[in-house]
Structure 1
Amino acid sequence: MTETDAAAQAARHDPVYDRLHETAEFAELRRRYRGFVFPATAAFLVWYLLYVVLSNWAPGFMGAKLFGNINVALVFGLLQFVTTFLLAYLYSSYSNRKLDPLARQLNEEYERGRRGGSDEREARA
């Protein structure tokens, strides 16, 4: 067993983590995370697949010139990049406001629990 495997297995059986995993705060953190990530991922995939579908089955529409040599397909393709950066910005902002404070609180509780557990073991030794 490698050192990484041992650390991963120890983390799975960490009583401090197990206790925190059962708290309302941890459930709230997961709910908030999923509440942003799942809809954002679904929306982005729909947007991307729309681009692919239109490219394959609506070539006349996608080839329509908007101005000069710029057509609808080029604009849609460039908007994929804009959407990616926009989603990254929105997630970062959401995370800073809604996820990080709760995650920091849970991490502090975890660290306190780990220190408390090691202090108790040292006192017994």
Structure 2
Amino acid sequence: MTTKRHDSSVYERIEGDDGFQELRRRFRSWAFPMTAAFLAWYLLYVVLSGWARDFMGIKLIGNVNVALVLGLLQFVSTFWIAWAYSRYAGRRLDPLADEIRHEAEAEAERENA
């Protein structure tokens, strides 16, 4: 029982830490706008597919039309976002998360010693 109480107090201290709050702010400042942009892009594709059929049916090269190109760009944008997030996390999130983890581990070692 004391272990659970001890664990929860450690998590509460970490959550209240300025470094953790900065980590959350950095994550949200990237994830929320990017999610909104991707959803808007996806919604645009759906709306165009439903209400701009003539535009989506324009042939660009042979049987390749605007709808196909925009649909393939959905996949490209998904992979680009994953790549961009990986780079962002590596530069801005992971170092701070590692620092927080090391501090928590050192605190736990001090308390267990």
Fold-level similarity (TM above 0.5)? yes
Query: Hey, what does 1:56 align to over in structure 2?
Result: 50
For structure 2, which runs of at least 5 residues remain unmatched after alignment?
none
* Structure 1 gap segments, 5+ residues each: 1-9, 120-125
Change (3 A) 1:47 1:27: same
Match of 1:98 among 76, 92, 96: 92
1:45 to 29, 34, 39: 39
Backbone CA RMSD of aligned residues: 1.5
Instruction: Report sequence identity in percent.
Output: 55
| Alignment correspondent of 2:8 | 14
Instruction: Give the paired residue count.
Output: 110
Q: Distance in 2 between matches of 1:61 and 1:51?
A: 11
The yes-or-no answer on 1:34 pairing with 2:28 is yes
Offset, 1:92: 0.2
User: Which AA in structure 1 matches 2:66?
Assistant: V
Q: Which residue of the partner structure matches residue 18 of structure 2?
A: 24
Matched, 1:118 2:112: yes
The TM-score, its normalising length taken from structure 2, stands at: 0.92
Structure 2: how far apart are the matches of 1:65 and 1:118?
A: 69
